[in-house]
Amino acid sequence: MGTGKLDSIVSRLNISDLLAHNFKTRPMPVQIPKLNINFDVELNKALKNLGLGKLFSNPDLRRISPMPLLVSSIQHKAMMELKEEGVQAAASTGIAVNRSFMKWTINRPFFFIIRDDISGIPIFLGTIKDPKPQIQAGTREKLVVNLERIRRVKEMMNPK
C-alpha cells in the first residue's frame, strides 16, 4: 500500500467510532518495526492565535513572583519508542520566563563592561561610538585580542 492510499484511508477514519467499537481480541504473533518518534514545537504563535498573546508582552504573573516576569518561549516535546519489550512514551512542556521585560534603546555613544559574576574580572570592555546595529569597524580584531588576554588572566589565576 502506498502512502497516498494510506493517507486517503486515514483521512476518512472516525476516531470516535474506532474507540467505541468493541474489537475482539485474539492472540497472535505480530511483527512491527522498531519505532523511535520525536516531536517538538514552539507554541508561541499558536498561543497568540488563541488569544494568549498577553503572556508574551505584559502578563500578570504576580502569584508566581513579585518581580515582573515575561514569558519568552513555550516549547512542547514528545517522544515514543516502540521495541519488542513494549512502548515507552514521554511528553513535556517547558516555559522560558525572563525576570524583566524592560526594553531600552541606546542611541548615542557609550562605554560598556561585561564582567564575570563570580570573579568580577572584566570579560569584555569597550566603547561604541556609533550604536547602529552593525559590527563596529575593528571590533573583530579587538575581540580576539581581549579573549586572548582573558585566557592569560585565567591561566595566571588557575595555574596547572
Q: What is the mean pLDDT of the chain?
A: 77
pLDDT computed for residue 156 by the predictor: 67
Q: Is 35 left (phi over 0), alpha (psi -120 to 50) or beta?
A: beta
Q: Which residues pair with 88 in a beta bridge?
A: 81
| Of 132 and 141, more confident | 132
- Mean pLDDT of the 62-87 span: 85
pLDDT-derived band of residue 152, with 50, 70 and 90 as boundaries? Answer: low
Query: Per-residue pLDDT tens for 79-125?
Result: 988 887 878 889 899 988 877 655 667 777 777 777 777 777 777 77
Local confidence band at 136 (pLDDT 50, 70, 90 cut-offs):
very low
Give residue 44's pLDDT band: very low, low, confident or very high (50, 70, 90): very high
Q: Taking residues 128-146, what's their average pLDDT? A: 57
**Mean pLDDT of the region 22-46:** 84
Write the DSSP string, the chain: --HHHHHHHHHH--HHHHHHS-PPP---------EEEEEEEE-HHHHIIIIITHHHHS---TTT-SS--EEEEEEEEEEEEEETTEEEEEEEEEEEEES--------S-EEEEEE-TTT--EEEEEEESS-SSSPPTTHHHHHHHHHHHHHHHHHHHS--
Percent of the chain with pLDDT over 90: 12
Measured between alpha carbons, how far is 108 from 51 in angstroms, rounded to an integer? 38
Mean pLDDT of 22-47: 85
Instruction: Tell me what percent of the residues of the chain surpass a pLDDT of 70.
Output: 76
Handedness of CA 56, 58, 61, 66 (dihedral sign): positive
